[in-house]
Amino acid sequence: MHTTEERRLLDEGLKLFPSFFKLWLMLGQLEERLGNLEQAKEAYESGLKHCSSCIPLWLSLANLEEKMNGLSKARAVLTMARKKNAQNPELWLAAVKLEFENHEPERARMLLAKARERGGTERVLFPLIASQLEHAVDARVARGRDSLLHPIVLKIRNTIETVLLWPSSDGDEVSKAQHGCIDCLAVMICTELQALESFRDLTSKNTSLVRMDSCSRDAAMRDSVRSYVIHQLTPDKDCTYEASISMSFVLCMANVLISACQKIPDSCKRPFAREILPRLIQSVEVMMESEYRAAGLQVFFSAVYHLKSTILPYTFDLLKVSLKSLREGLEKEKMAGAKLMASLMASEEAIVNSIAGGLLEAITVLSSLSSSDPSPDVKICLETECGVRWDDRPVDLPVVPTDFQQVII
């Protein structure tokens, strides 16, 4: 249909049915297509005078104002829209997304807090995260080597980081969303490693690809989700975390690695262990914050349990870390250290043999603990995990071979 005829029909329809919002929406969209932005704005505003509860008209006007006059005008439109339609989750979602997309996380956080007061957080928060993931699926970022460098990956990661930095309480909507974000990052790590393994198989058959894509591989590793997560868990030389990084956020990063250990496919376990364990072991040895060390020990426990023999090159270092936590750590560290030691001792024969030189030291540490008076939680943990009894001496510990009487320093 010719645009002049289309406009004439819309004008006639609006004279007869001025409260039919769809006609105002169509008129505004027609003017936008033709580049007549002022006329489009007039159409949306006129429509809202007749249909103030029409959400598509408010959203179209806000998008147009952002295009014509910038963030502040779009923000004002959405503010007015929420005043007239305070319980509508689409308007709250649009306002939060507007702040995210314009790099205003604090304003987004304030809007979510207000939505939370009205009992609508889950109706705003979940669609916000889902919209990012839908874009990821549409862009096929979950497939192939190119996914590692796709710009939407960084956008998703930034959105997840913002959600993980929000304050939350156990069981509330934000906490539930954070659990989902943790699993999402873990899946992204698995996807990255699978893509890299597939690419290695390809380059082993076509060596000309190795030189051609070396820069791409370096960039992928530098910007990868796993490098990002590891960086959050490994402090700088002064062994402290930036003040802007909350303890809860760092613990979320540890939970990402724990989730990844559970989800990682067998073909990727070895490279995952190679990238994660050496850096995290070194970091835990110098961390000053007790709770962070305990979180690192929990990651190690999960790695021993799920990654199996791929952790073999690092078992002796893991035993050293567990013993140090049992000797010097606070309550949570001792409990995590006991679980780590028990998982090592209960592992397959190759792992037990690799730590045999430290078992005498392990027995000594456990004997020392059995003669002391640790907290009730630590006592229970040592009894259930390591077989320590408090009325006698450690039991059920492996026999140390006579040719492995090495003590861990």
pTM, two decimals, is 0.61
Please check whether residue 190 is in contact with residue 183, taking contact to mean a CB–CB distance below 8 angstroms: no
Q: Does domain 1-85 have CATH number 1.20.1560.10?
A: no
| Paired tokens of 74 | 């779009």
> How many other C-beta atoms are found inside a 10 Å radius of the C-beta of residue 203?
17
List, in order, residues 6 or more apart from 249 with CB less than 8 Å away. 164, 165, 232
d(CA 318, CA 355): 9
d(CA 314, CA 292): 20
d(CA 141, CA 224): 13
Per-residue pLDDT of the chain (409 residues; tens, 9 = 90+): 578 888 888 888 888 888 888 899 999 999 999 999 999 999 999 999 999 999 999 999 999 999 999 999 999 999 999 999 887 888 888 888 888 788 787 787 788 777 767 655 555 555 555 555 545 444 444 444 455 556 667 777 888 888 888 877 777 777 878 888 898 889 888 888 887 766 555 445 444 444 444 454 454 456 688 888 998 888 654 444 444 467 888 899 999 999 999 999 998 999 999 999 999 999 888 887 888 899 999 999 999 999 999 999 999 999 999 999 988 888 889 889 888 988 888 888 899 889 888 878 887 887 777 677 567 766 676 666 665 554 444 434 444 333 333 333 3
